[in-house]
Amino acid sequence: MAEAPAVTYYSTLDLFPQQTAEHNKLYEFYDNLRKGVLTTSKCNACGYVAWPPRTICPECLSDQLHWTELPTRGKIDVFTVQWAGMPPGFEVPLILAIVVLPGGPTFLSRIVETLPEEVKDGCAVELVVLPVDRERVTYAFRLIRS
């Protein structure tokens, strides 16, 4: 029998959803993300672009949606640094920012591969796809260093 993978926290505290078609109606979001493509749902009826992606349009309740690609580069609007009370699986310091994508949604994201003192409001950032475990991925952003 294969050795079970190391468990670093209880699965009931797992912040990340299952991402396969059998577990998640939004599995295509994760399939696209694994390829480095950030997508979300766009309503065929009213054109509303939702974030996070939805299976039903929050504006007109249509279930006729399709996937639309989002930019992978944007800017930090504001940010904060969390030094205590980490969610399971996260390390100190945790940099959280409101990221604005041009023509796209504004949303909360982790900022990775940087130190808190390097982050400023207005910093340019780009998408990073991070592994959660062997099967799952998540997104974050990192500073674009020129």
Bridge partners, 75 (sequence order)? 100, 124
Based on CB atoms, which residue is closest to Zn ion, 20 or 64? Answer: 64
Could you tell me the smallest distance in angstroms from the CB atom of residue 104 to Zn ion?
17
8 A C-beta contact, residue 50 and residue 58: yes
Cβ-proximal residues to 66 (8 Å cutoff; 6+ apart), any chain:
41, 42, 44
DSSP 28: H
Could you tell me the smallest distance in angstroms from the CB atom of residue 3 to Zn ion?
48
8 A C-beta contact, residue 30 and residue 130: no
Based on CB atoms, which residue is closest to Zn ion, 18 or 62? Answer: 62
| Residue 51: C-alpha distances to residues 40, 56, 63 (Å) | 6, 12, 15
The 28-67 site mask, x for binding Zn ion (CB under 5 A), equals ---------------x-xx-x--------x-xx-x-----
Could you tell me the smallest distance in angstroms from the CB atom of residue 73 to Zn ion?
27
Based on CB atoms, which residue is closest to Zn ion, 65 or 127? Answer: 65
**Helix, coil or strand: residue 47:** coil
Measure the CA–CA gap between 123 and 65, rounded to whole angstroms. Answer: 32
The 92-131 site mask, x for binding Zn ion (CB under 5 A), equals ----------------------------------------
Based on CB atoms, which residue is closest to Zn ion, 49 or 112? Answer: 49
Interface residues with Zn ion (CB under 5 A)?
A: 43, 45-46, 48, 57, 59-60, 62
